[in-house]
Structure 1
Amino acid sequence: MRRLLRAVVLFTATAVLVSACADHDDWSRSRPAPAPLGALGTGFTDPSAPPTPEAIITPSPGSWSSVRPPAGYRVVLLTIGTDAPAEALVTAVHDWASAEDVSLRTVTADATKPVDAIVEAMALRPDLIVSAGNGLIDPLALVSPSHLDQQFLIVGAEIAEPTANVTAVDWTGASFRGAGLGAASAFDPATFTEARCAAAIRAGAAAVLHDVTGVVLWLDRY
């Protein structure tokens, strides 16, 4: 009898655990818009002059550090390329997701079919799509204006004319803009440091969670 009771208890506990994990990662279920944990600090934006669409803002270093995504925040990492800057950004996103209990999925784009990868990412219906890799900029500029209900965050680059659902984090040494503009003359892969890439994903996610979107966050200071 005791063995049977133990077996029942063990089975029940396991079922609850599996159910909890399934609920946590079940993206098929709709849910309310995610609410941020924590507030933006002084200097992230100027409350007396909210940023206008397509504005470049320079948040004070660390002004985003108190903001956290809710547990299970659904993020798709959309990535292309294996160059050092792209790899540094991918690592930063993975580290952030692990530290913050983000439910992360990855879609790797084929360089010959980048739009297909964007469509695949959107089909997952995430809270946020994070883009890493310069090869995605022009395809995102093409697709994102037609899908205003999907939030995009570009790290280490930007599109020339973002709509309200596209936020970017950039700095001197990055700033690839696509649309024939290519990389800035100051482009420097060495600026994609571990610390800067970590700041980029955290600052960008904090902005999106607080509806500071459609702008470029400039992180020369962080």
Structure 2
Amino acid sequence: MRPPPRVVAALAALAVLVSACGDDWAEPHDKPTAVGALGPDFLAPSTTPVPEATITPGPGSWDGVRPSEDYRVVLLTTGDDAPTQALVTAVQEWADEEDVDLRTVVADHPYDLVPTITSALDMAPDLIVSAGNDLIDPLAMVTASHLSQRFLVVGAELAEPTHNVTAVDWSGASFRGEGLGASSTYDPASFTPARCAAAIRAGVAAVLNDLTGIVIWLS
């Protein structure tokens, strides 16, 4: 007899966790820091963005920042649409270039979404990066209960993020969930390799500099 879907989802999430979480992540490591500095036009001088604020940094003002050694990141993703896959590729390429310890967990079905987020949380990474619009509403349910875990949403945003959730968006993206859906300017073609690469780098640079709980708008 086939087990109920919820049981299947739980087992799948457990399998992802067991396979993805190596022994090295069980060992303590130093708190990650930013190597390098943000450009002067990333944030206006003497400005401290309030939660849920939107900032528009100067193009490339994040390029001088990279994570310190042994930065542990979980890529949380769902969907095989072109925008999501472009984001996934950008995150993977960034991790390779910066020698980031990247693990990936994938939600294959709608009933996998929350268990997959839970699996990512159980891995206790320095950062969870989300790619895929279907994750937005489940993240809105979960993130407020895990304020010590930092999240970065690329190519979308939560409607009411807590201070641990940072997002990177642009005209052509802007999916917000909670029935709000995509903006009228949503354009899958805007998810270019260059735009997606900028999104992950700008978002991580902000998180490493403790600029969290905000939306970074790429012009």
TM-score between the two structures when normalised by the length of structure 1: 0.87
Please tell me whether residue 27 in structure 1 is matched to residue 25 in structure 2.
yes
| Residue identity matched to 1:79 | T
| Residue identity matched to 1:26 | D
Q: Is the 8 A contact 2:127 2:152 kept in 1?
A: yes
Cα distance in 2, alignment partners of residues 37 and 125 from structure 1: 22
Q: Is the 8 A contact 2:157 2:174 kept in 1?
A: yes
Partner of 2:143: 144
Structure 1: 5+ residue runs without aligned partners?
1-23
| Residue identity matched to 2:51 | P
Percentage of pairs with the same residue = 65
Query: Which one has a bigger Cα radius of gyration?
Result: 1
Partner of 1:7: none
Per-residue deviation, 1:106: 0.2
Cα distance in 2, alignment partners of residues 181 and 137 from structure 1: 11
Q: CA RMSD in A?
A: 1.1
| Residue identity matched to 1:48 | S
Partner of 1:200: 199
- Aligned residue for 2:168, secondary structure, equals strand
Per-residue deviation, 1:49: 2.0
| Residue identity matched to 1:124 | M
Per-residue deviation, 1:25: 7.3
Cα distance in 2, alignment partners of residues 48 and 32 from structure 1: 29
Which one of the candidate residues 37, 40, 47 is aligned to 1:39?
Answer: 37
Per-residue deviation, 1:157: 0.1
Q: Is the 8 A contact 2:54 2:215 kept in 1?
A: yes
Provide, for residues 60-108 of structure 1, a one-character-per-residue CA deviation record: whole Å limited to 9, x for no partner: 0111000011122100000000000000000000000000000000000
Q: Is the 8 A contact 2:39 2:61 kept in 1?
A: yes
Cα distance in 2, alignment partners of residues 170 and 25 from structure 1: 35
Moved over 3 A (4+): none
| Residue identity matched to 1:69 | P
Q: Is the 8 A contact 1:25 1:103 kept in 2?
A: no
Q: Is the 8 A contact 1:25 1:72 kept in 2?
A: no
Partner of 2:19: none
| Residue identity matched to 1:203 | A
Partner of 2:4: none
TM-score between the two structures when normalised by the length of structure 2: 0.88
Cα distance in 2, alignment partners of residues 48 and 96 from structure 1: 30
Deviates more, 1:199-208 or 1:44-53: 44-53
Per-residue deviation, 1:30: 1.7
User: How many residues end up aligned between the 2 structures?
Assistant: 197
- Aligned residue for 1:112, secondary structure, equals helix
Cα distance in 2, alignment partners of residues 111 and 97 from structure 1: 27
Deviates more, 1:141-150 or 1:104-113: 104-113
Per-residue deviation, 1:31: 2.3
Q: Is the 8 A contact 1:38 1:68 kept in 2?
A: yes
Cα distance in 2, alignment partners of residues 147 and 27 from structure 1: 19
Structure 2: 5+ residue runs without aligned partners?
1-21
Partner of 2:173: 174
